[in-house]
Copies of this chain bind each other. A is one copy, B any other.
Amino acid sequence: MSALAPVVDTRQAARPSTYAGPSTPPSPYLELSVPVAVEHYRSLAAALPGTAVHYAVKANPEPALLRALHEAGSSFDVASPAEVLAALAAGAAPDELVYSNPVKRRSDIAFAARHGVRLFVVDSPEETVKVAAAAPGSAVLCRLVTSGEGSDWPLSRKYGCSTGEAVRILVAAAALGLEPAGVSFHVGSQQRDPEAWGPPIAAAARVFDELRAEGLRPWLLDLGGGFPARLADDGAAGCPPLAEYGAAIDRHLTRAFGPTGPDRPRTLVEPGRGIVAEAGLLHSRVLAVIDRGGTRWVFLDAGVFTGLVETIEEAIRYPVTTSRDRDGGPRVPCVLAGPTCDSADVLYEQAMVHLPADLAEGDWVRLESAGAYTSCYSTVGFNGFPPLPTLLRA
């Protein structure tokens, strides 16, 4: 490989700092309220008494957010060396981290172990062997597959194994010198049905029973994330309140493991969207309002490549407000599109958004519940449009 020149960072050339003047505020940008995220953390912790809350750093790794969540008592869910460092930099102790990525680079496992992380998720014999080699003696959770039913962004295909496989993996883990801590699962992101936790909790209890029959002592159940944010397609009733999620989960835990006692595992959750989504407001401005054969297209300066990846297939529907909103003003259906030349840079077309009839170039369009999976999903600057910046609300 000596013929290769040093790494060239194309972003430096594509986004020279000279062209964007010091406009205040810039556009687009993500306005992030750390106190609102902390409030969501506290609500979730209150709805799940006795369950440790591990904020999923991937949803939004903003350092000020991580620090505030740590100070409020949150632990962290991490999935890469950079996320380990971000959590530690926020003040977390290594034993407050769960490394939840079920398939990891071997050197990344070793990196985490060197930094004191000792709880890893696996979902295959191959990965268990890797963890045993790279982080000897650490604790493992085995991830179960779930259906993803009821969620807007299902997770079912890529990760997880059956209960039978989980038993074999955790027994093998013990033989490899690892601590078979228990089981994890994930019911899918933006999960609208609190009862979705029932089947995987019951499945986890079967794994725990079989492990105990093998003489092992599992003690930890990772209930995953999936707690929803308020979105545009919630319907009149909205998503169920967090208390309903807490009650459903407690009921299913009691049914599966008993109300108290040594058989009831310690529990943790890994919320990302449920904590940070509603703390974020994505501000963008209208580039143009154009009639395309009778359909009104509103072009924004934010799009799929500046963070709005979750609009692909129109999966996540952000509530939209504008600087032209007023009571009783007429609204018309609009397609929302982003600023790049890419045809995929269209936010909502199948189900159009109803916006003020007098919306015009330069007006602000704001996407609510946009604090999760936006700034972190932004491209490095596709088509010369800079990544979505974050501004902190005091």
A62 adjacent to B290 (CB under 8 Å): no
Q: How many residues on the A side are at the interface (Cβ–Cβ under 8 A)?
A: 106
The verdict on A156 contacting chain B, using a C-beta distance below 8 Å, is yes
A155 adjacent to B10 (CB under 8 Å): no
Collect the chain B residues with CB atoms within 8 Å of residue A147's CB.
none
Collect the chain B residues with CB atoms within 8 Å of residue A391's CB.
4-8
Q: Which residue of B lies closest to A77 (CB)?
A: B341
Known: A105-B301, A346-B158. A82 touches B361 (CB 8 A): no
Collect the chain B residues with CB atoms within 8 Å of residue A384's CB.
57-58, 61, 78-84, 86
Collect the chain B residues with CB atoms within 8 Å of residue A349's CB.
157
Cα A346 to Cα B157 in complex, Å, equals 9
The verdict on A190 contacting chain B, using a C-beta distance below 8 Å, is no
Cα A340 to Cα B111 in complex, Å, equals 17
Collect the chain B residues with CB atoms within 8 Å of residue A105's CB.
285, 287, 301, 339
Q: Which of A5, A158, A299, A337 has the most CB atoms of chain B within a 10 A radius of its CB? A: A158
Collect the chain B residues with CB atoms within 8 Å of residue A86's CB.
13-14, 16, 384
Would you give the shortest CB distance from A174 to chain B, in whole angstroms?
20
A89 adjacent to B124 (CB under 8 Å): no
B390 adjacent to A82 (CB under 8 Å): no
The verdict on A219 contacting chain B, using a C-beta distance below 8 Å, is no
Within 8 A of B (CB), among A53-102: 57-58, 60-64, 78-86, 89, 100-102
Query: Of A25-33, A192-200, A243-251, A256-264, which binds chain B?
Result: A25-33
Which of B15, B148, B291, B343 lies in contact with A124, CB distance below 8 A?
B291
Collect the chain B residues with CB atoms within 8 Å of residue A111's CB.
19
Which of B80, B123, B158, B379 lies in contact with A377, CB distance below 8 A?
B379
Q: Which residue of B lies closest to A315 (CB)?
A: B344
Known: A103-B288, A130-B361, A153-B343. A376 touches B387 (CB 8 A): no
The verdict on A305 contacting chain B, using a C-beta distance below 8 Å, is yes
Known: A61-B10, A89-B13, A124-B288. A379 touches B378 (CB 8 A): yes
The verdict on A11 contacting chain B, using a C-beta distance below 8 Å, is yes
The verdict on A389 contacting chain B, using a C-beta distance below 8 Å, is yes
The verdict on A289 contacting chain B, using a C-beta distance below 8 Å, is yes
Collect the chain B residues with CB atoms within 8 Å of residue A157's CB.
343, 346, 349
Collect the chain B residues with CB atoms within 8 Å of residue A127's CB.
288, 290
B386 adjacent to A158 (CB under 8 Å): no
Cα A186 to Cα B120 in complex, Å, equals 49
A126 adjacent to B288 (CB under 8 Å): yes
Within 8 A of B (CB), among A352-394: 361-362, 375-387, 389-394
Known: A83-B383, A343-B159. A4 touches B103 (CB 8 A): no
- Residues on A lying within 8 angstroms of B by beta carbon are 1, 3-11, 13-16, 18-20, 24-26, 29, 31, 57-58, 60-64, 78-86, 89, 100-106, 111, 123-124, 126-127, 130, 148, 153-159, 161-162, 285, 287-293, 297, 299, 301, 305, 312, 337, 339-346, 349, 361-362, 375-387, 389-394
User: Could you list 29 A-B pairs, sorted by A, with CB under 8 Å?
Assistant: A3-B394, A4-B25, A7-B390, A8-B62, A8-B389, A9-B389, A10-B376, A10-B390, A13-B63, A13-B86, A19-B85, A58-B342, A79-B341, A80-B383, A81-B384, A82-B386, A103-B288, A103-B290, A103-B299, A104-B287, A124-B288, A124-B290, A124-B291, A153-B343, A154-B343, A158-B297, A305-B377, A377-B382, A379-B380
